[in-house]
């Protein structure tokens, strides 16, 4: 068999990282990333990109931890390289604060981030309405820089990017031997999966260069995340809401909640509003299946449904999807079983 032709549907952080991992892990294949939206127009461009895991109720914690650790290690190496600026990846330190003692004083990811510890009384003085907090250093990975960086990696490995809407995964055969579905919310249509739904998130991007530490209110609803280009203020979690237009009333509420945590934000200027729809599911669907029609077979690897934490686990899930693609390629190359007649 010639090189296996692999189509990756989706050009958000999941599709592009999966394409890069396939090019590293699977030998003798060609890769085409197909999507109707590329950076800067994907959900992944709106994400604040903080590496703080979000819990997937249907996925074992050990698996979630493995995905997070692999992602952290990959981005930590990138943050320590000369490519850090181009890739939009950097370390950031700060606080996660609580109004009462959380049930999980030491979360499962505490030994993956750097220097995790309980906040001191002196630190907590900054947050008079909070009684408990955790301090740590993590990474921030900014979509508008990281996605173009991933696109360059795809092209450097010989892959192609194709702007096109896919109506049905089956339409990609016979041009492709294997399809990898990283279409996020698009999987409602492409995989017929009604379990995946949007959780709308609205954020503000402001110029407040004096704010250097992240602040995350324990529930994760209100946050101040400093980045290379702006500080992201969040947020909202509006379940089932498909509206991509910013809501001025919501923006006022976000600013007021964030100012309560960091009063110096009252001096914020150049406020931009952004909205994204988190492709949510009870667990990421990372699975191989075969589509069968008219006596033909198309192997499909699914990698979607990363919800509120896709950036935090993207490299781990991309590596796992790439291994599944490797299994599909080996199966295609295996000689067909001989007839016993
Ligand atoms: C406000 C906000 C803040 C966030 N902050 C964080 C954070 O700090 N940390 C974190 O880890 N996560 C965060 N997230 C979550 C993160 O953004 C998502 O988990 C992640 O972006 C999902 O990536 P994805 O590639 O699956 O989806 P997307 O980025 O939506 O990409 C889907 C791709 O599939 C393509 N596609 C879909 N259907 C079709 C079709 N029919 N034909 C062709 N192409 C198709 C789209 O065009 C697109 O290219 C945040 C999300 C939001 C909204």
Instruction: Give a yes or no: residue 339 inside a domain.
Output: no
Higher pLDDT residue, 337 or 87?
87
In this structure, the residues whose C-beta lies within 6 A of any atom of ligand 1 are 9-15, 35-37, 42-44, 46-50, 165-166, 182-184, 186, 189-190, 201, 203, 235, 276, 278-279, 304, 306-312
Question: Could you tell me the distance, in angstroms and rounded to a whole number, from the CA of residue 306 to the centre of ligand 1?
Answer: 8
Q: What is the DSSP letter of 238?
A: E
Q: Which of 308, 315, 318 to mutate to test the pocket of ligand 1 (most atoms within 8 A of CB)?
A: 308
Instruction: Give a yes or no: residue 174 inside a domain.
Output: yes
Label residue 153 by pLDDT band (50, 70, 90): very high
Instruction: Give a yes or no: residue 145 inside a domain.
Output: yes
- Rounded to an integer, what distance in angstroms lies between the CA atom of residue 101 and that of residue 132? 6
Residue 118 vs residues 57, 69, 148, 211: alpha-carbon distances, Å: 26, 21, 37, 21
Beta strand residue intervals within the chain, DSSP E:
4-9, 29-35, 89-98, 114-118, 132-141, 160-163, 178-181, 197-207, 214-217, 223-226, 231-234, 238-239, 269-280, 285-293, 296-304
* pLDDT at 1 (0 to 100): 67
| Coil, strand or helix at 265 | helix
Q: Is the pLDDT of residue 339 over 60?
A: no
Instruction: Give a yes or no: residue 153 inside a domain.
Output: yes
User: Among 49, 17, 10, which Cα is nearest to 319's?
Assistant: 17
Chain center to CA of 242: 19
* Phi, psi (deg, nearest 5) at residue 290: -115, 130
Residue pair 32/6 in contact by the 8 Å Cβ criterion: yes
- CA dihedral of 58, 61, 64, 66, whole degrees rounded to 10: -150
Instruction: Give a yes or no: residue 338 inside a domain.
Output: no
Label residue 294 by pLDDT band (50, 70, 90): confident
Q: Which of 7, 14, 280 to mutate to test the pocket of ligand 1 (most atoms within 8 A of CB)?
A: 14
- Rounded to an integer, what distance in angstroms lies between the CA atom of residue 143 and that of residue 311? 9
pLDDT tens sequence across 76-98: 999 999 999 999 999 999 999 99
Question: Could you tell me the distance, in angstroms and rounded to a whole number, from the CA of residue 310 to the centre of ligand 1?
Answer: 7
Instruction: Give a yes or no: residue 159 inside a domain.
Output: yes
Q: Is the pLDDT of residue 253 over 70?
A: yes
Q: Which residues of 117-151 are buried (b: 16+ CB within 10 A; e: fewer)?
A: eebeeeebebbeebebbbbbebbbbbbbbbbbbbb
Q: Is the pLDDT of residue 36 over 70?
A: yes
Q: Is the pLDDT of residue 338 over 80?
A: no
* pLDDT at 270 (0 to 100): 73
* pLDDT at 335 (0 to 100): 74
Label residue 334 by pLDDT band (50, 70, 90): confident
Residue pair 286/21 in contact by the 8 Å Cβ criterion: no
Instruction: Give a yes or no: residue 340 inside a domain.
Output: no
**Total domains, the chain:** 1
pLDDT tens sequence across 37-67: 999 999 999 999 999 999 899 999 999 999 9
Specify the ligand 1 atom closest to the Cα of 236. Answer: 1
59 is in an annotated binding site: no
Question: Could you tell me the distance, in angstroms and rounded to a whole number, from the CA of residue 8 to the centre of ligand 1?
Answer: 15
Instruction: Give a yes or no: residue 283 inside a domain.
Output: yes
Range(s) of the domain holding residue 100: 4-333
297 is in an annotated binding site: no
Q: Spell out the SS3 assignment of 38-63.
A: CCCCCHHHHCCCECCCCCCCCCCHHH
* Phi, psi (deg, nearest 5) at residue 289: -145, 165
* pLDDT at 216 (0 to 100): 98
CATH of the domain at 180: 3.40.50.720
241 Cβ contact partners less than 8 Å away, ≥ 6 residues apart:
198, 199, 200, 277
User: Across all residues in the chain, what is the average pLDDT?
Assistant: 95
């Amino acid at each position: 068999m010639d090189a296996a032709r692999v189509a990756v549907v989706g050009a958000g952080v999941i599709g592009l990282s999966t394409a890069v991992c396939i090019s590293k892990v699977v030998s003798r294949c060609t890769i085409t990333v197909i999507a109707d939206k590329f950076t800067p127009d994907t959900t992944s461009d709106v994400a604040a990109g903080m590496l703080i895991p979000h819990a997937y109720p249907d996925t074992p914690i050990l698996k979630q931890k493995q995905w997070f650790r692999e992602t952290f290690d990959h981005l930590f190496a990138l943050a320590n390289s000369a490519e850090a600026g181009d890739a939009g990846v950097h370390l950031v330190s700060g606080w996660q604060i609580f109004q009462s003692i959380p049930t999980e004083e030491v979360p499962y990811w505490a030994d993956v981030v750097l220097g995790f510890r309980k906040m001191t009384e002196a630190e907590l003085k900054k947050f008079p309405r909070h009684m408990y907090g955790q301090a740590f250093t993590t990474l921030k990975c900014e979509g508008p820089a990281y996605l173009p960086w991933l696109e360059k990696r795809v092209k450097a490995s010989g892959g192609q990017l194709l702007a096109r809407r896919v109506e049905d995964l089956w339409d990609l055969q016979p041009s492709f031997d294997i399809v990898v579905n990283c279409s996020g919310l698009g999987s409602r249509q492409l995989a017929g999966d009604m379990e995946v739904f949007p959780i709308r998130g609205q954020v503000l991007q402001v110029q407040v260069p004096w704010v250097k530490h992240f602040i995350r209110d324990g529930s994760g609803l209100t946050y101040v995340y400093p980045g290379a280009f702006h500080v992201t203020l969040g947020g909202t979690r509006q379940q089932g809401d498909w509206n991509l237009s910013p809501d001025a009333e919501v923006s006022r509420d976000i600013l007021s909640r964030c100012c309560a945590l960091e009063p110096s934000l009252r001096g914020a200027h150049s406020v931009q509003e952004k909205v994204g729809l988190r492709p949510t599911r009870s667990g990421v669907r990372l699975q191989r299946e075969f589509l069968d029609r008219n006596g033909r077979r198309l192997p499909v690897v699914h990698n979607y449904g990363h919800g509120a934490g896709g950036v935090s686990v993207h490299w781990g899930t991309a590596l796992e999807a790439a291994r599944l693609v490797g299994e599909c390629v080996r199966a295609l190359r295996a000689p067909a079983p001989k007839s016993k007649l």
